[in-house]
């Protein structure tokens, strides 16, 4: 996988999500992603950004345009220094939430993107890496 | 003994001002549309007076001296008002930096010794540069105030509730639906249901860029609240890509009546109210 372009943004308040989403959309349009996939990755991004805000008081996002073989895609790294997730398996189940939400954020996001990886350490923070291929 | 440069400036104040005005007026980017030449002159004169009056032996070597605070205050005022009037940073920058040109020009005419000229010029340059920096700081602050005001204005754009028919309300939602916005939407809607005695509300989300789980949760809450008031709620404007995303996310909207367009939502609403829209028949056919 080759990184063609990289940009970092910090998400500290709810209003930071809007410029982040617009930026992401620009990249998605640039690599020629279809409207459905654009909507999917934007929804996944706002899901993860909101999680960061809600549970970790914000964090950092890196947007990358990546290329593998003949396929282009967008990779995002969401990194926070929040409380961490004690039981990732449980957090990845539909309907589980510690915060009175629908509990679809993490499992739903996984269904929306092509590749999904999460690492978390209690007390240290959580990192979520997602990739969406142009035609994936 | 007074510093050479200060003596020259006090003596030649008039010449400095003329020089400065000349530099400013000569600039191609002069904004006569935003500020008249008379205003520019009086602004320049005020600043120059303050500068020369405050310049002394003690502070000419020290741009951070407290004696310059008065000048920085005047500059800040000018800078902020210019930012609000719509001047570009370049134009405001030229205003300050052309003063440097004017001062150095006069020094050059008066001081013949190159060594002395260099020493004095350097001092002036340092002072004006520090003025320039504080001008930019306040200029940006002024712009930020404009941005903050606009942010407030945008958030104040409330969501209107439209009575499309007797007993039918429509709410077009445009932009991101966050918690604060949902609260306003819900309050407006419920209030309007009571006031108009409507039994059907249509929430149109054509203008919502993305429906994530939080937005969906807000929508479900609004629908539930509407039902508690005894009214039916239809969500319209679900675009194909939104529909696919919602399904992948795993959000269950089956409890909610959803339609692709406002038109079909209105049709459903008519159906619920047992109303029918029919084409007007031609006069002839009736008389026949």
What does the pLDDT look like over B231-283, one tens digit per residue? Answer: 999 999 999 999 999 898 888 888 889 999 999 999 999 999 999 888 888 76
pLDDT of A1 above 60 = yes
Least CB–CB distance from A101: residue in B210, B217, B250: B217
Task: Give residue B78's pLDDT.
Answer: 84
Q: Cβ of A21 and B216 within 8 Å?
A: no
A83 touches chain B (CB under 8 A): no
Q: Cβ of B178 and A14 within 8 Å?
A: yes
Q: Cβ of A40 and B250 within 8 Å?
A: no
Task: Give residue A42's pLDDT.
Answer: 92
pLDDT of B75 above 90 = no
3-state secondary structure string across chain A:
CEEEEEEEEEECCHHHHHHHHHHHHHHHHHCCCCHHHHHHHHHHHHHHHHHHHHHHCCEEEEEEEEEECCEEEEEEEEEECCCCCCCHHHHCCCCCCCCCCCCCHHHHHHHHCCEEEEEEECCCEEEEEEEEECCC
pLDDT of A136 above 80 = no
Closest alpha carbon within chain B to A49: B212
Range of weakest confidence among B52-61, B69-78, B249-258: B52-61
> CA-CA distance, B238 to B258, in Å (whole number)?
8
**A88 min Cα distance to partner chain B (Å):** 18
Q: Integer distance in angstroms from the first to the last C-alpha of chain B?
A: 115
pLDDT of A75 above 70 = yes
pTM of full prediction above 0.80: no
A21 touches chain B (CB under 8 A): yes
Residues of B in contact with A113 (CB under 8 A): none
Task: Give residue B288's pLDDT.
Answer: 54
pLDDT of B31 above 80 = no
Which DSSP helix (H) or strand (E) runs through B236? strand B232-236
Bigger pLDDT: B287 or B245? Answer: B245
Closest alpha carbon within chain A to B239: A36
Bigger pLDDT: B235 or B39? Answer: B235
Least CB–CB distance from B249: residue in A14, A101, A104: A104
**For residue B105, what are the contacts with CB-CB under 8 A and spacing of at least 6?**
B19
A110 touches chain B (CB under 8 A): no
Task: Give residue B155's pLDDT.
Answer: 65
> CA-CA distance, B209 to B198, in Å (whole number)?
28
Please, what is the Cα angle at B88 between B84 and B93, to 5 degrees?
Answer: 110
Residues 53-82 of A with CB under 8 A from B: none
Least CB–CB distance from A39: residue in B214, B217, B245: B245
What's the pLDDT band for A18 if we cut at 50, 70, 90? confident
Percent of chain B with pLDDT over 70: 95
Least CB–CB distance from A40: residue in B151, B209, B248: B248
Best residue in A21, A22, A36 to probe B by mutation, most B CBs within 10 Å?
A: A36
The answer to whether the CB of A15 falls within 8 A of the CB of A21 is no
pLDDT digits over A99-118, tens only? 778 888 888 899 999 999 99
HSE, side-chain direction, 13 A CA sphere, residue B213: 28
Can you tell me which residue has the tokens 């502070």?
B59
Beta bridge partners of A72: A67
Report the complex ipTM: 0.80
pLDDT of A37 above 80 = yes
Tokens of A55: 């549970």
Residues of B in contact with A14 (CB under 8 A): 178
Ordered by where they begin, the domains of chain A are 2-133 (3.30.565.10)
Task: Give residue A129's pLDDT.
Answer: 95
Q: Cβ of A43 and B244 within 8 Å?
A: no
Range of weakest confidence among A35-39, A115-119, B52-56: B52-56
The answer to whether the CB of B74 falls within 8 A of the CB of B45 is no
pLDDT of B125 above 80 = yes
**Segments of B14-152 assigned E as strands:** none
Over range A41-46, report the average pLDDT.
92
B251 touches chain A (CB under 8 A): yes
**A70 min Cα distance to partner chain B (Å):** 25
Ordered by where they begin, the domains of chain B are 4-154 (1.10.490.130), 162-272 (3.30.750.24)
> CA-CA distance, A60 to B282, in Å (whole number)?
67
Task: Give residue B42's pLDDT.
Answer: 85
Closest alpha carbon within chain B to A35: B241
A104 touches chain B (CB under 8 A): yes
Task: Give residue B66's pLDDT.
Answer: 77
**B153 min Cα distance to partner chain A (Å):** 14
Q: Cβ of B249 and A108 within 8 Å?
A: yes
Task: Give residue B287's pLDDT.
Answer: 57
Q: Cβ of B245 and A112 within 8 Å?
A: yes
Task: Give residue B283's pLDDT.
Answer: 67
Mean of all residue pLDDT scores within chain B: 84
pLDDT digits over B133-192, tens only? 888 888 888 788 888 888 777 766 667 889 999 999 999 988 777 777 778 888 888 999
């Amino acid at each position: 996988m080759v990184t063609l372009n990289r940009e970092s943004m910090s998400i500290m308040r709810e209003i930071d999500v809007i410029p982040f989403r617009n930026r992401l959309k620009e990249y998605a349009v640039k690599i020629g992603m279809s409207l459905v996939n654009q909507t999917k990755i934007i929804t996944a991004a706002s899901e993860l950004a909101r999680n960061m805000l809600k549970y970790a008081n914000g964090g950092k996002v890196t947007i990358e345009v990546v290329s593998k073989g003949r396929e282009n895609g967008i990779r995002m790294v969401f990194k926070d220094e929040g409380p961490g997730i004690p039981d990732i398996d449980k957090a990845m189940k539909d309907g589980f939430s510690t915060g009175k939400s629908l509990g679809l954020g993490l499992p739903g996001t996984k269904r929306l993107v092509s590749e999904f990886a999460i690492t978390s350490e209690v007390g240290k923070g959580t990192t979520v890496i997602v990739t969406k291929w142009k035609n994936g | 003994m007074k510093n050479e440069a200060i003596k020259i400036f006090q003596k030649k104040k008039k010449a400095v001002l003329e020089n400065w005005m000349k530099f400013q007026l000569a600039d191609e980017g002069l904004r006569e549309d935003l500020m008249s030449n008379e205003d520019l002159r009086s602004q320049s004169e005020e600043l120059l007076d303050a500068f020369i009056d405050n310049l002394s032996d003690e502070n000419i070597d020290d741009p951070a001296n407290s004696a310059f605070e008065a000048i920085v205050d005047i500059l800040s005022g000018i800078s902020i008002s210019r930012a609000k009037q719509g001047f570009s940073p370049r134009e405001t920058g030229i205003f300050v930096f052309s003063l440097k040109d004017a001062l150095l020009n006069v020094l050059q005419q008066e001081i013949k010794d190159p060594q002395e000229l260099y020493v004095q010029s350097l001092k002036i340059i340092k002072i004006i540069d520090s003025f320039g920096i504080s001008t930019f700081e306040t200029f940006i602050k002024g712009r930020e105030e404009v941005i903050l005001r606009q942010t407030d204005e945008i958030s104040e754009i409330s969501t209107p509730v439209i009575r499309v028919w007797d007993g039918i309300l429509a709410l077009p939602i445009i932009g991101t639906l966050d918690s604060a916005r949902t609260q306003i939407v819900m309050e407006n809607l419920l209030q309007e249901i009571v006031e108009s005695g409507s039994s059907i509300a249509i929430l149109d989300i054509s203008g919502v860029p993305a429906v994530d789980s939080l937005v969906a949760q807000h929508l479900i809450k609004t629908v539930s609240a509407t039902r508690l008031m005894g009214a039916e709620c239809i969500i319209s404007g679900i675009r194909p890509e939104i529909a696919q995303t919602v399904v992948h996310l795993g959000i269950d909207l089956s409890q909610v009546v959803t339609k692709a367009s406002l038109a079909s939502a209105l049709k459903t609403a008519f159906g619920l109210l047992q109303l029918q829209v029919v084409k007007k028949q031609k006069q002839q056919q009736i008389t026949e």
